Structure 1
Amino acid sequence: MDILRFITAGSVDDGKSTLIGRLLYDSKNILIDQLEALEKQSKNKNENGVDLAILTDGLRAEREQGITIDVAYRYFSTPKRKFIIADAPGHIQYTRNMITGASNSQLIIILIDARQGVIEQTRRHSIIAALLKMKNVVVAINKMDLVDYSEEVFNNIKAQYELVAKKLKLENVSYFPISAFNGDNIVSKSEKTDWYQGSTLLDFLENVEINEDQEKENPRFQVQYVIRPQTDELHDYRGYAGEVISGIYRKGDEITVLPQNIQTKISKIETGGHEVDFVFTNQPAVIHVEDDIDISRGDFLVKTNQQPKVENEFEAVVCWLDKKELNEGNKYFIQHKSKTLKAIIKEIEYKIDVNTLEQTPITESIKLNEVVKVRLKTASPLVFDSFEDSKSTGNAILIDETSNSTVGAVMIL
């Protein structure tokens, strides 16, 4: 089964945690002991006597205040697909949590309170979805029970959001009238919205297309570990272990080792301890090459005619995650999957307003939660694709040299 990673977003009290709880509860993904604990801790009970939001709000402060503070990850599965859910906080001061949670997601569910319609936070999270190049957007118009399941209210909010989606060039937007509290149109179709002819939310999540044609993706393989046993029975064994980031690799393929830019051929491929003819996206593999080449952790093996960029200076969008301010000339480590290099902020070009996507000039240091466009320079060449072409090889993190803390989320342009 494949895995769908998605994130829920919306304003405070729009029902994000309750929606996730409802998906887990109605799809029978809660253990009996969890259910018993849930019933004891519930304050805001539904008809089943439980507060479903507690399933995702794990911090004590979250439960006491009825809000989401940190990104919570939950896992569940159905016979058709496995799911990893990120429940992101709705507060403005947790923008960084929203961006980090969404960076690995393939789909975003934006919740809208049916009583309020499209508000500032709706636009902010939609802008972040556009910034992160989210290919699938689900607009869940929640709390339909509080507006008497009105078709007119649903259509009005849908029309409001269509204007936002058009401005941000969001594609593949789907709309659902739901009540997370009562379970309408989430796992089961609701009789109270007989005017709605679409599928349930879970049915959509089970069937939405997430994997692009793997044959067409640019093949990317980054070495995580060099296997060199140096034993009598494996005297000449040298394999390069890692995960196929994208595309397909076959025995006999002509490849280029980057950043060295040396060409060779694949002589053997192993996965799961067995030799195979090919491997594809997300498979762990050990690749052997015909020539004796100095290949190290972090190096890329790519198809000779489908190469990424190899640069030591490039532009990027950075979401700042640290309380210490960002300034031009600051030095950091940049970690790009299994490759870590020294880097310097050569220039901060402008700040991106997450409420409007407008570019504003830099007048002071960059503070926590702010998003900026910068020019970075690394100590040695970095192998990458643009974030728009490949999220996997187009993202990185900045690490503070002294504290070793992650201070910036990087989207390479």
Structure 2
Amino acid sequence: MDKILPAQTGKSDTAQYCALLKVSEAIAAHRDLPSLFRDLAQRLPAVASFDFIGLVLHDTTKNVMKVHVLETAAARPHTTRLDGLELPIEESSTGWVWTHQQPLIIPSLAEETRFTMGMTALRGIGVQSVCLLPLTTARRRLGAIGFGSLKPSAFSDADADFLKQVARQIAVAVESALHYEQAQKAQRELAHERDRLRLLLETNNAVATHLELRDLFDSITASIRRVLKADVISLTLLDPELNQLKLYALDFPGANGFIEEGTTCTLCGCPATTAITQREPVVLSRQELDQSESTVSKRLVAEGVKSACCVPLLLRDRTLGALNVGSLQEGAFTLADAEMLSEVAKQIALAVANSLAYQEIAALKDKLAKEKLYLEEEIQTGYNFEEIVGDSQALKRVLKQVQTVAATDST
């Protein structure tokens, strides 16, 4: 062990055994690591003097040491948080403990010259001495558990011996918690994939069932809401000739009327502009909506919308518009949500293209019908003129004279 101090603890074996029992009770009572460490921060100071207890795990993906939990034994919480801090193994004292699988006591951080980045972070919250122990099970080396004190030389080798017993129990709890988190993550991923496939299937069925675009939109809003936290769903269509966007369809229960169907805006005055021009999904935060100068964004903010996601309607090299969702909650949409919505938008884009083609065909049919009617009227007019001439000898003589004069230079 590095820099071990002489034994200074007078804690009785009985008290320490009782403390170990309390550690076991805490482990049994808490499934998640933050709540476990909050409990330990209150239980253990009775037998081991410390001000901070922290959990640092090795991140195998980045090969760094990451602070997962840092709790204080004091009644007031510390103002500076180190949770989430990542350090290179060689710059972290816990990295040394994890690598060498040995306890490490540093009696004076002020005098420690190693682990520059890690020592700087600990000094920043007032820590003057630490006791660090490896967290290891029979299956893997997890990381380290650290105890910090606002006093120098706060830990003895007797403290370290006792805390090693604590660390062994906590290592098993940490491994179990990590397995539980991994299982929960896998379950969430499976649920997300199930919801994605269900949404795509329902959208596909809606596209096949509903010929009218508005009917299609109405049928998929419920499906979208089952998967996403969407308070508002809208469909905006692009008019490339006018360089203008039109709010074709809007589903916003409880809206206050600040935004309505049929609203038009220039391409540079709409939250969906970036999605349309860059042909990529866009997730908008509350701050981005608040700071936007577009009229539509201001109306959304007035309605209480605090986050949004816009995905383009793409069909080969054409951009037809955007499918948009908004929420009254902050941070309601993730990039994974945007990707899912993009797949829905691909199917809707086909329906939009079909609808636009249908409208063009209908307009062409109407034009042809009008031209046909005009020609029929012209023909009818000519036919009626022949009827007027009929067998009238007088009219025939006049027409004959007109024909004779027309063939000469007479005026």
Pairwise same-fold verdict (TM > 0.5):
no
| Structure having the larger proportion of residues in helix | 2
Structure number with higher relative contact order (C-alpha < 8 Å, ≥ 6 residues apart) = 1
TM-score, reference length from structure 1: 0.25
**Greater C-alpha Rg:** 2
